[in-house]
Amino acid sequence: MRLIRTLAVLFVSAFTLTASAQAWDPYNCGFGNIKSITVHNNAIYVASYPNGIYKSTNDGVTWEAVNTGLPVEVVDGIEFIYAESVGSNGTFLFAGTSSGIYRSNNNGASWQLANGPLTANFTVYANKWLKSGSKTLAIFAGTIANGGGIYATGNNGNTWIQGANNLSTNMRVYQVAVVGNLLYAATSAGLFVSDNNADDWDPMPNAQVATYAIQGTPERLVTISDFGYRYSTNEGQDWSNPTSQPAAPNANAQLILYDGKYFAITGTGAGVVRSINNGQSWQPFNTGLVDFDATLQEEFHASGTKLYLGALFDLYSIDGTTLGVDGAGAAMSGRAFPTAFQTGFTVELPSELTEARLVLMDVSGRIVREQRVSPGSQWVSREQLASGAYRASVRDAQGTPLIDLGTLIAE
């Protein structure tokens, strides 16, 4: 309990930061082709292809290679380490390479093979990582028939189980996202949903078109597909187009929901675009990206109050508060109590409030709960909300913050 309250204090402090950053900040790390990023035990890790894994414990001021145990190929006296991805489940680090999955339990000081019988080569490899409940998911490049798709472990990589029930063998899986209590998979055959943590998948009837990226909240889904950038406010039953449509997407597109905003790698040379109104419109967001990095990006990663971006020649980040880049001016007041709760909490909202939603965000800036609220007093049940600190706010239908309810602690 003391640890949770300590984290809550740090969480509140992070939210007091100003949100004036409007440009990507380069790290000038000295290596490039940053394919993947994660944060583990307060250190930044990146996969730089074909140089391996690099680690910084001082926010990018200095970097060290941490490749002991990873496979090395020597060509003309030059070492190549084909690390395609790096991820963390909070206990272990994982690296996806062309020789298989490797893991580290000592902050990257050494790596051990943890691939089991999974396929590994230059076209089939662990490309992305996702922590979902008790499972760690590895999203592999390549078709399911050739060993690609989704694999899950509940024991830190001792064993892997394929999560492909109801997914066809010719599919490619591009991105998997946690939205509320569901998992969504963006695949070459459309959007799929799982309500049992990747054991089984069901197609979403009105989204059966090649889909490259998915993010969202229980109230709103945003996708990038062959139909372009779209959003749904009724769990995918109907889809709407934004007022400004970025360039036609491709399989390199990616999405992340951070700081209450959607960021997208277009994958088309147009760089990064951002939506501050829940996918209704998109604008370029490339200020600060240098030279080719403005057109060639690889991956996002969010941790705490930073959003990271890996690009061709450097690593970048922007700061956030998870309340909005332009601040969260609150013309109305309300409150949520008790601050520390077990089964739920009460929200009291002013009578002048109209259509609005309660939003809970975790320390990484990810929205974990979103539900409609009304004027007056109402009970909010904890349901399956994990223990930890959450920032609570009330927003209008467009996602604009109306009321900051502060930090709540689920004990």
Q: Would you kindly state where each structural domain of the chain is located, as residue ranges? A: 18-319, 335-410
Please identify which residue in the block is written with the tokens 């990582």: 129
Is the link from the previous residue into 249 a cis peptide, with omega within 30 of 0?
no
What is the rounded CA–CA span in Å between residue 12 and residue 197?
A: 31
Please identify which residue in the block is written with the tokens 């100003």: 18
Judged on CB neighbours under 10 Å (0-12, 13-18, 19+), 222 is: buried
Please identify which residue in the block is written with the tokens 């997208």: 264
Kindly indicate whether the domain formed by 18-319 is annotated with CATH number 2.130.10.10: yes
Tokens of 208: 């059966």
What is the rounded CA–CA span in Å between residue 45 and residue 24?
A: 18
Nearest to 357, CA basis, from 402, 388, 389, 408:
402
**In CATH, which superfamily holds the domain spanning 335-410?**
Macroglobulin (MG2) domain (2.60.40.1930)
Each of the 411 residues of the chain gets a pLDDT tens digit; together they read 444 444 444 444 444 333 334 699 999 999 999 999 999 999 999 999 999 999 999 999 999 999 999 999 999 889 999 999 999 999 999 999 999 999 999 999 999 999 999 999 999 999 999 999 899 999 999 999 999 999 999 999 999 999 999 999 999 999 999 988 899 999 999 999 999 999 999 999 999 999 999 999 888 999 999 999 999 999 999 999 999 888 888 899 999 998 888 999 999 889 999 998 999 999 999 999 998 999 999 999 998 889 999 999 999 999 875 433 223 333 456 788 888 889 999 888 887 777 788 989 887 677 888 898 888 888 999 998 988 888 888 887 766 677 878 888 888
What is the rounded CA–CA span in Å between residue 353 and residue 241?
A: 28
DSSP readout, 204-254?
-GGG-S-EEEEEEETTEEEEEETTEEEEESSTTSS-B--SSPPSPP-TT-E
pTM for the predicted model, two decimal places? 0.76
217: alpha, beta or left, given left = phi > 0 and alpha = psi -120 to 50?
beta
How far is the first Cα of the chain from the last one, in angstroms, to the nearest whole number? 7
